[in-house]
Amino acid sequence: MADGVQFNDKFFERIGKSAGVTQMAKDVAEKALAIAKASAPVDEADYVNGLHVEVKSADNRNVALVVGSDWKTMLIESKTGNLARALKQVKKSG
């Protein structure tokens, strides 16, 4: 009878928080940011200027997030789905 596979959690955490993996996540987020800014409603300069990438530390890895700091971000996103569409476009492009 074969034993179950045991993963070295510390190893995967070290990789997930490494500079290379963090940069890869940031690169993808920057692509989504560029698409989101390009496809944003033209009359919403404050919204566009408030979009940016933040790198955060999660449990086992670092993540890069596209966030908006303008007070209208949630309203615009709920009406247009701009950020969601930008992320889907990046996902499709590989």
Domain ranges of the chain: 10-93
Beta bridge partners of 55: 64
Q: What is the pLDDT of residue 80?
A: 95
Q: How far is CA 34 from the centre of its chain?
A: 12
Q: Cα(first)–Cα(last) distance of the chain, in Å?
A: 40
Q: Which residue numbers in the chain have pLDDT < 70?
A: 1-2
- Tokens found for residue 23: 């940069």
- Residue 68's alpha-carbon distances to 4, 27, 55, 80, in angstroms, are 44, 17, 13, 14
Q: What is the pLDDT of residue 94?
A: 74
